[in-house]
Amino acid sequence: MMNRRNFVAIAMLLFTVASWGGMYPIAKSILLAIDPFWLTAIRYGFTALLFCGLLLWREGKNAFRFEGKWISIWWCGTLGFALFNYLVFFGLKYSSPEHGAIIMAMMPFIALLINWLSLGKRPPYQDMLAIAFAFVGIILIITRGNFSSLLEMDSIFGDCLTLLGALSWVFYTRSAIRFNHWSPLRFTTLTVILGTMSIIVITVVLTLVNIAHAPELTLLNEQLVSLLYIVGPATIIAILFWNRGIKTVGISNGMLFVNLVPVVAFSIGYYQGNSLHSMELVGASIVLVTLAISNLASRRKG
């Protein structure tokens, strides 16, 4: 029987993937007006400030101590926030939100492979089978059953960038386990602080050499609602919920939730009036059923 702690963790992970599923089409539209460097700086500039206030309120000033691990924390923050966002946002510029969603759904594969290669920990057969079924569902959603269409799309460069972004997020997620004695809020805040410092330095330098371009105030006003969504539900709440959920259910189970991101993205499209192909509905059903069965199996083992 599911205990309250696991129920809360699953609810947090569901909220996270739902907010990420909505982020892709919104970010795609914002990137038409604001370049990826400044969008990342805006996103995490506000995020860092709010997390600092929240950590100070909940745990006090002593929680801001790095305990001699600031280099590791800086590297985690740079991977999880600077590099991840640059790669994903640039990937969206060259590719589509749907492609971004399906590549994010590959993170369970990436996490299992990294664990296997780095720890020699071969994933259980049932985990690999569940992820494989979920990925088949994702492919059906994107291709509508026409698998050859994946080879006909000319967005390979953007897809490769997004794949590297997914890899950086997996490394960030794995690094959180090494700080398991810290609260999720503390780990999140300290990595956001140092990651944001990297983002600000990179953005300023690239702006000075005319690679990045500061957005005009009118553009920011036009994109205000979208920016609030990116900063709030899709960043601040999502990151905190993600780290807390992963700490409770583990990396493998947590990563499986990422398969719901494309389902959310396509649900938004349907709500906006886009018709759904029958194979998309089949794929979504496969993802949801696989996720449910996997969680039931993991609870029985626990």
- The kind and range of the H/E element at 39 are helix 36-59
Q: Which residue in 289, 268, 271, 267 sits closest to 280, CA to CA?
A: 267
C-beta of residue 176 within 8 angstroms of C-beta of residue 246: yes
C-beta of residue 45 within 8 angstroms of C-beta of residue 196: yes
Task: Give the pLDDT confidence score for residue 272 in this predicted structure.
Answer: 66
Tell me how far the alpha carbon of residue 296 is from its chain's centroid: 24
Q: Which residue in 145, 137, 113, 123 sits closest to 292, CA to CA?
A: 137
Whole-angstrom Cα Rg for the chain: 19
8 burial (CB, 10 Å; 0-12 / 13-18 / 19+) is middle
Tokens of 14: 């569901």
C-beta of residue 22 within 8 angstroms of C-beta of residue 268: yes
Task: Give the pLDDT confidence score for residue 206 in this predicted structure.
Answer: 94
Task: Give the pLDDT confidence score for residue 160 in this predicted structure.
Answer: 80
Q: What b-and-e string marks burial along 223-238, b requiring 16 or more CB atoms within 10 Å of the CB?
A: beebbebbbebbbbeb
Task: Give the pLDDT confidence score for residue 296 in this predicted structure.
Answer: 62
Residues 6 or more apart from 235 whose CB is under 8 A from it? 43, 44, 47
In tens, the pLDDT along 101-150 reads: 777 777 777 777 787 777 777 777 777 787 788 778 777 776 767 776 66
Between helices 125-143 and 97-104, what is the axis angle to 10°?
170
Cα separation, 184 vs 16, in Å, equals 15
Residue given tokens 């740079």 in the structure block: 78
Q: Please report, as a single letter, which amino acid is at residue 62.
A: N
Task: Give the pLDDT confidence score for residue 150 in this predicted structure.
Answer: 62
Which DSSP string do the residues of 159-183 spell out, in sequence order? HHHHHHHHHHHHHHHHHHHTTTTS-
C-beta of residue 300 within 8 angstroms of C-beta of residue 3: no
Task: Give the pLDDT confidence score for residue 162 in this predicted structure.
Answer: 85
Cα separation, 60 vs 55, in Å, equals 7
Cα separation, 123 vs 127, in Å, equals 7
Mind listing the pLDDT tens digit of every residue in the chain (302 residues)? 467 788 888 899 999 988 988 888 888 888 888 889 999 999 899 989 999 999 999 999 999 998 888 899 999 999 999 999 999 888 888 877 777 777 777 777 777 778 777 777 777 777 778 778 877 877 777 676 777 666 655 566 777 888 899 889 888 888 877 888 888 889 989 999 999 999 999 999 999 999 999 888 888 888 889 999 998 998 888 888 888 888 888 776 777 787 778 778 777 767 766 666 777 778 777 877 777 676 666 656 55
Task: Give the pLDDT confidence score for residue 171 in this predicted structure.
Answer: 87
Task: Give the pLDDT confidence score for residue 97 in this predicted structure.
Answer: 75
C-beta of residue 233 within 8 angstroms of C-beta of residue 264: no
Name the DSSP letter for residue 3: -
